[in-house]
Each structure stands twice: as structure tokens, then as C-alpha cells.
Amino acid sequence: MALLIGSNRINIAVFISGTGSNLKSLIKFSKLKKSPIMIKMIISNNYKAKGLQYANIYKIKKKVFDFKNTLSEKKVIYELKKNNINLICLAGFMKILSKSFIKNFKGKILNIHPSLLPKYKGLNTHERAIKNKDKYSGCTVHFVNSRLDSGKIIIQKKVKINKFDTPKSLAKRILIQEHKLYPAAIMKVLSL
């Protein structure tokens, strides 16, 4: 991909639907001296998303779109292009993007998923891993394509499932790893 030109930072948009804990870790990463990214926009499909507060705290432009139809997606694409966005990071974004949206940013949309893909695509990943008595779960950062959680895997992190884990306790431990994994994945993608 090699989006990095000289010492310039690349412009990123982070898409969220909820609390924005991965967004917060990406913002911290963007503030590091050696970080190759600048978060230029936060986009959400939920105007009540708690993560939108980080836009105010860190003075980042935010927009909320309903993503219900192609017209609203066209507005999003327009905003992204107007702000020279080079990379989109989905971070707890609970909407499926259309094929035409993905085509507009082919190879430039990343997603973080709380399982070791290709296992447990979609929702309720922790419950499913525990129910199936898996020894490990974890998280994956992958490129987004038109099939749910099926894009090329960039990087993964294994997390041991303990005997007394509940979906909640497992989710908590995996989230800590997600916060480390997403910046690592971005570094990897930018060096490709």
C-alpha cells in the first residue's frame, strides 16, 4: 500500500457505533511522535454513540450518517474524499458497508474483529468460543471486502480462554489486546 510519503502522516477516518474504546486507542497512537497517522474524521451511524465524545475532547471533525441507503453512503464518500481520507478504520462499527462503498476505497478499509477469523464471523463471538470449549480466542484486523468478516487477514492476537471465563470477562481481556493490535496492523499495512 505504501501510503506514506516522506514524513507526512496519512489521513484516517474512524467509523464507530458505540463506546469508541478502539477509537480512543487509535487517537492515543496518532498523538505519538512517530505515528504515521492523523485522525481527520470520526464517522458514526449512531448519534448517541459514546465514542463521539472523543471528537469533542480531541477536536476531531465528526459526522453522523444513517447509512440506510445509497444516498447517505454517497454523502459519506463525498465527505471522505473532501477531507482527503487515505484509510478508513472500522472500530466497533455495526453497519455493513455496501459493495459500491467498498469499491470506492478498495484495499483502504480495515476492520477489527473480536475473534480469530475465519472463526466466528459476525456477532456473539465470545459466547460462541466459550460454548464450543475453544482453548483460545482473540482478535483480528483484516481488510474489508464485500463478504462479512472475510477480507484478507493483516494480523491476529491469540488470547487464552480460562476455565471460568464468561463472555464478559473474555471480552474485557480481548479488548486490551485489540487496543495494541490495531496500531500494529496500521503500521504493517503502511509498510506493505
- Among 83, 189, 192, 99, smallest CA distance to 147 is for 99
* Cis peptide leading into residue 114 (ω within 30°): no
pLDDT (tens digit per residue) in 67-108: 988 899 999 999 999 999 999 999 999 999 999 999 999 999
- Cell 456473539 belongs to which residue? 124
- Residues 114-137 as b or e (16 or more Cβ within 10 Å = b): bbbbebbeeeebbebbbeeebeeb
Residues 62, 54 contacting (CB under 8 angstroms):
no
- Cell 474483529 belongs to which residue? 113
pLDDT of the residue at 70 = 86
Length of the chain: 192
- The DSSP-derived string for 24-54 is HHHHHHHHSTT--EEEEEEEES-TT-GGGHH
**pLDDT higher than threshold 70 for residue 58:** yes
pLDDT (tens digit per residue) in 22-52: 999 999 999 999 999 999 999 999 999 999 9
Note the pTM of the prediction, 2 decimals.
0.94
- Cell 465528526 belongs to which residue? 62
pLDDT of the residue at 128 = 98
pLDDT of the residue at 73 = 93
- Among 53, 91, 102, smallest CA distance to 175 is for 91
Cell of 30: 496518532
**pLDDT higher than threshold 50 for residue 1:** no
Task: Name the residue with higher pLDDT: 8 or 177.
Answer: 177
pLDDT (tens digit per residue) in 132-179: 999 999 999 999 999 999 999 999 999 999 999 999 999 999 999 999
pLDDT of the residue at 8 = 82
Looking at residue 33, its amino acid is K
Confidence band (pLDDT; 50, 70, 90) for 60? very high
Catalytic residues: 113
**pLDDT higher than threshold 70 for residue 112:** yes
**Averaged pLDDT, 117-121:** 97
- Among 43, 82, 87, 78, smallest CA distance to 61 is for 43
Cell of 71: 444516498
Residues 48, 19 contacting (CB under 8 angstroms):
no
**Averaged pLDDT, 179-186:** 98
Residues 3, 87 contacting (CB under 8 angstroms):
yes
pLDDT of the residue at 2 = 47
Residues 139, 159 contacting (CB under 8 angstroms):
yes
Cell of 165: 471465563
